[in-house]
Amino acid sequence: MNAPLALLKMRFLTGLQYRAAAAAGVLTQFFFGLILIMVYLAFYKYGGAAQPMTLEEVVAYIWLQQIFFTLVMLWYSDFELFELITGGGIAYELCRPWRLYTVWYAKLLAARLSACALRCLPIAGVVLFLPEPYRLAPPASPDALLLFIAALLLGLLLVIAISMFVYLSVFWTMSPVGSILLIAVAGEFFAGMVIPVPLMPGWMQQAANLLPFRWTVDFPFRVYTGHIGAQEAIAGIGAQLVWLAVLVAAGQWLMKRALRRVVVQGG
């Protein structure tokens, strides 16, 4: 088995050990989901006529966001990678005969997958059977479900490619704070983590469409509810692939630049 795959498996199994943290996560996501839905219920009661998304679609959007939270959130940080760079451990990584980008990518992917594996089923199991209006509706159609799974997985690959830039920037700044924090916050907003993209004002939706972030959260969840039809979804998956190719290539190029002049810290 080649190195990145073996690492992926190992990390995944390690991640599965953190069950207490996962239990806490499940409760937290569940609580946040309920609170958010109540807020939207109140908003829809006041001015719900003729909105770009129906209440059921928003409810489904919120629950999917909670269920797959660890997959889609931009800021799921792996402090080990930061320490590798700021602590000098990077020297060992460079000695090993592998491509650093692929290996880090596999590590980040495994951490997210294992966290999600522990969390998604308990939340999904409950929210599919809640009383109305809190219930998560099943997907719009079997096609929508298949497209949703494809879009979600591509979104996951995309979000890791984006978050890789945060790790890479540490090569230059030595601390993952400040300006990066700002980019992360803006990214989450444009991804639709705070409010769904269709509920934003027009000019902001246009900005969101130009950026890669919305393909990670907003797009897959709206495919699930059928808010984005099959035709458009297939085109969207194409866009995801293009973004993924661009961002991975840019990340690899940047990493090469970073490693050319890497300073091994510490001792």
Question: Which stretches of the chain bind another protein, using CB under 8 A?
Answer: 20-21, 23-25, 27-28, 31-32, 34-35, 38-39, 41-48, 51, 175, 177-179, 181-182, 185-186, 188-189, 194-195, 199-201, 204
Phi, psi of 254 (to 5 degrees): -65, -40
Cβ 73 to another protein shortest distance, Å: 13
- Neighbouring CB atoms inside 10 A of 8's CB total 21
Nearer to another protein, 34 or 150 (CB): 34
DSSP 244-258: HHHHHHHHHHHHHHH
Cβ 195 to another protein shortest distance, Å: 4
Nearer to another protein, 32 or 98 (CB): 32
Cβ 180 to another protein shortest distance, Å: 9
Cβ 86 to another protein shortest distance, Å: 13
Nearer to another protein, 47 or 142 (CB): 47
Cβ 34 to another protein shortest distance, Å: 8
d(CA 257, CA 238) in angstroms, rounded, equals 29
d(CA 94, CA 223) in angstroms, rounded, equals 41
- Closest listed residue to residue 209, CA positions, set 201, 199, 197, 225: 197
d(CA 266, CA 261) in angstroms, rounded, equals 16
- Closest listed residue to residue 158, CA positions, set 105, 205, 199, 201: 105
Contact 78, 108 (CB under 8 A): yes
Contact 128, 30 (CB under 8 A): no
Contact 241, 63 (CB under 8 A): no
Nearer to another protein, 5 or 23 (CB): 23
Nearer to another protein, 48 or 87 (CB): 48
Nearer to another protein, 25 or 139 (CB): 25
137 secondary structure, DSSP code: P
Cβ 5 to another protein shortest distance, Å: 31
